[in-house]
Structure 1
């Protein structure tokens, strides 16, 4: 049985999503590494090395810029007929990190600590899901 015309034309468009997927995996992994460094900087600061607060602030900027790039690539992936869930999850992380940033600046540690834990968990889950071929339909992209 011959595939329909729409199925034949849809395949090359999905194949174009593969470079965006590779880029998204790379930037999401870099973002996860950066977000894991944040509690390390904060912990060293809280143990008495007050210079680490500056590193924590720089780290916050790096984490936020990385997630903005991640969002742009996730939207590109979606536009190239890839999965759309990375865009939604990344947008949620952007919102959370915006709140995290302002809570940290305001000294609202009662919000900053638990939100940081939640963001680290969500980022970790997203990276794991991005690297799972079955979750993204990579097998379909390779055909």
Structure 2
């Protein structure tokens, strides 16, 4: 090889497909999460059928949270994404499972504040996943 030819470094592995998957999943999750207080509010204004939709979407969110864990695992392991994402998704799954239980048992003193915390977490995660920080590989600054 010629010593005058510059060597190019191999491109660093970074989350691409896994990041787009996580973006899609977290944005869809955010839409479902934001629908929950709207449906609860509609129920409180007299739309009894809104509670059925609230319960159905809430129950389906446990499935969505499991898929989010798989997406986060792919992002962390396959895409060399941020490590903190995986435990946060597991905590979100556990919080949503507890939230479902508190809702069906009518424990509103726990259901409402936990719902607010889940909404805040979903908004922050969905906002973060669209930042340039989410696209950088682990260890890069």
Q: Same fold (TM over 0.5)?
A: yes
CA contact (8 A) 2:30 2:123 kept: yes
- Which stretch shows the higher mean deviation, 75-84 or 94-103? 75-84
Q: Equivalents in 1 of 2:131, 2:51: separation in Å? A: 35
Residue 34 of structure 2 is matched in structure 1 by 36
Q: Equivalents in 2 of 1:135, 1:79: separation in Å? A: 14
CA contact (8 A) 2:82 2:134 kept: no
- Is the partner of 2:129 in helix, strand or coil? helix
CA contact (8 A) 2:69 2:89 kept: yes
- Which stretch shows the higher mean deviation, 60-69 or 121-130? 60-69
Q: How does 1:93-108 map to 2 (within 5 A)?
A: 93-108=92-107
Higher share in helix: 1
Q: CA deviation at 1:136?
A: 3.9
Give CA deviations for 1:96-115 in whole Å, capped at 9, x if unaligned.
10110100011000000000
Residue 81 of structure 2 is matched in structure 1 by 82
- Flag the structure with larger Rg: 2
Q: Equivalents in 2 of 1:136, 1:117: separation in Å? A: 28
- Is the partner of 1:48 in helix, strand or coil? coil
Higher RCO, 1 vs 2 (CA within 8 Å, ≥6 residues apart): 2
Unaligned stretches of 5+ residues in structure 1: none
> TM-score by structure 2 length?
0.84
> TM-score by structure 1 length?
0.83
Q: How does 1:59-78 map to 2 (within 5 A)?
A: 59-78=57-76
